[in-house]
Amino acid sequence: MTIIGCLLAMAGLLGIVYHLAEFKAQHPFQYEIVWITFVRLLAIVAGVYMLLGRNWARWLGLAWMAFHVVVSAFHSVPELAMHSLLLAVFAYFLLRTTAASEYFRRNARQ
Protein backbone atom coordinates (compact mmCIF):
# COMPACT_ATOMS: atom_id res chain seq x y z
CA MET A 1 0.00 0.00 0.00
CA THR A 2 2.87 2.32 0.78
CA ILE A 3 4.41 1.90 -2.67
CA ILE A 4 1.11 2.45 -4.50
CA GLY A 5 0.23 5.44 -2.32
CA CYS A 6 3.64 7.00 -2.96
CA LEU A 7 3.40 6.28 -6.70
CA LEU A 8 0.02 7.99 -6.93
CA ALA A 9 1.14 11.03 -4.96
CA MET A 10 4.37 11.36 -6.96
CA ALA A 11 2.57 10.89 -10.29
CA GLY A 12 0.16 13.66 -9.34
CA LEU A 13 2.91 16.00 -8.18
CA LEU A 14 5.17 15.38 -11.17
CA GLY A 15 2.21 15.70 -13.53
CA ILE A 16 1.31 19.10 -12.11
CA VAL A 17 4.89 20.34 -12.45
CA TYR A 18 5.14 18.96 -15.99
CA HIS A 19 1.86 20.45 -17.20
CA LEU A 20 2.31 23.81 -15.48
CA ALA A 21 5.54 24.19 -17.44
CA GLU A 22 3.34 24.13 -20.56
CA PHE A 23 1.24 27.05 -19.26
CA LYS A 24 1.63 30.16 -21.40
CA ALA A 25 1.06 33.57 -19.86
CA GLN A 26 -0.08 34.95 -23.23
CA HIS A 27 -3.13 32.69 -23.03
CA PRO A 28 -4.10 32.80 -19.33
CA PHE A 29 -7.50 31.12 -19.72
CA GLN A 30 -6.46 27.66 -20.78
CA TYR A 31 -9.24 25.55 -19.34
CA GLU A 32 -7.54 22.27 -20.11
CA ILE A 33 -4.78 23.14 -17.64
CA VAL A 34 -7.45 23.50 -14.93
CA TRP A 35 -8.83 20.02 -15.67
CA ILE A 36 -5.37 18.47 -15.92
CA THR A 37 -4.38 20.02 -12.60
CA PHE A 38 -7.62 18.81 -10.99
CA VAL A 39 -7.00 15.24 -12.18
CA ARG A 40 -3.43 15.38 -10.88
CA LEU A 41 -4.63 16.72 -7.52
CA LEU A 42 -6.96 13.72 -7.28
CA ALA A 43 -3.92 11.45 -7.60
CA ILE A 44 -2.15 13.33 -4.81
CA VAL A 45 -5.22 13.11 -2.56
CA ALA A 46 -5.64 9.41 -3.30
CA GLY A 47 -1.97 8.70 -2.59
CA VAL A 48 -1.77 10.67 0.64
CA TYR A 49 -5.00 9.31 2.07
CA MET A 50 -4.10 5.79 0.97
CA LEU A 51 -0.94 6.14 3.07
CA LEU A 52 -3.19 7.15 5.95
CA GLY A 53 -5.22 3.98 5.42
CA ARG A 54 -8.48 5.48 4.20
CA ASN A 55 -10.51 2.90 2.31
CA TRP A 56 -12.13 5.44 -0.02
CA ALA A 57 -8.66 6.47 -1.20
CA ARG A 58 -7.98 3.08 -2.74
CA TRP A 59 -11.18 3.40 -4.76
CA LEU A 60 -10.21 6.92 -5.82
CA GLY A 61 -6.78 5.63 -6.86
CA LEU A 62 -8.34 2.83 -8.90
CA ALA A 63 -10.79 5.24 -10.52
CA TRP A 64 -7.92 7.60 -11.32
CA MET A 65 -5.97 4.81 -12.97
CA ALA A 66 -9.06 3.60 -14.89
CA PHE A 67 -9.59 7.15 -16.15
CA HIS A 68 -6.05 7.11 -17.50
CA VAL A 69 -6.71 3.83 -19.29
CA VAL A 70 -9.70 5.43 -21.03
CA VAL A 71 -7.76 8.57 -21.93
CA SER A 72 -4.79 6.57 -23.21
CA ALA A 73 -7.11 4.65 -25.54
CA PHE A 74 -7.14 7.85 -27.61
CA HIS A 75 -3.33 7.95 -27.70
CA SER A 76 -0.76 5.32 -28.61
CA VAL A 77 -1.08 1.57 -28.17
CA PRO A 78 2.01 1.35 -25.92
CA GLU A 79 0.54 4.03 -23.64
CA LEU A 80 -2.74 2.13 -23.45
CA ALA A 81 -0.89 -1.10 -22.70
CA MET A 82 1.18 0.51 -19.93
CA HIS A 83 -1.81 2.15 -18.24
CA SER A 84 -3.80 -1.08 -18.52
CA LEU A 85 -0.96 -3.05 -16.95
CA LEU A 86 -0.65 -0.52 -14.12
CA LEU A 87 -4.41 -0.67 -13.51
CA ALA A 88 -4.24 -4.46 -13.32
CA VAL A 89 -1.33 -4.34 -10.85
CA PHE A 90 -3.04 -1.67 -8.73
CA ALA A 91 -6.30 -3.63 -8.71
CA TYR A 92 -4.53 -6.83 -7.75
CA PHE A 93 -2.73 -5.33 -4.79
CA LEU A 94 -5.53 -3.03 -3.65
CA LEU A 95 -8.40 -5.50 -3.94
CA ARG A 96 -7.25 -9.11 -3.85
CA THR A 97 -4.69 -9.40 -1.11
CA THR A 98 -5.56 -10.08 2.49
CA ALA A 99 -2.87 -7.63 3.55
CA ALA A 100 -4.64 -4.78 1.73
CA SER A 101 -7.97 -5.57 3.34
CA GLU A 102 -6.35 -5.73 6.77
CA TYR A 103 -4.40 -2.51 6.15
CA PHE A 104 -7.53 -0.52 5.36
CA ARG A 105 -9.64 -2.25 8.03
CA ARG A 106 -7.02 -1.62 10.72
CA ASN A 107 -6.78 2.08 9.89
CA ALA A 108 -10.58 2.44 9.75
CA ARG A 109 -10.72 1.54 13.45
CA GLN A 110 -8.37 4.36 14.44
Domain ranges of the chain: 2-108
- Is the confidence at residue 3, as pLDDT, over 80? yes
pLDDT at residue 57, as a whole number: 92
How many residues make up the chain in this entry?
110
Name the nearest CA neighbour of 12 among 54, 58, 45. 45
Which residues 6+ apart lie within 8 Å of 85 measured at CB? Answer: none
Q: What is the mean pLDDT of the chain?
A: 86
pLDDT at residue 12, as a whole number: 92
User: How many Å apart are CA 69 and CA 74, to the nearest integer?
Assistant: 9
pTM comes to 0.82
Average pLDDT estimate for 80-96: 91
pLDDT at residue 96, as a whole number: 79
User: How many Å apart are CA 99 and CA 110, to the nearest integer?
Assistant: 17
Q: Are 20 and 37 in contact (CB under 8 A)?
A: yes
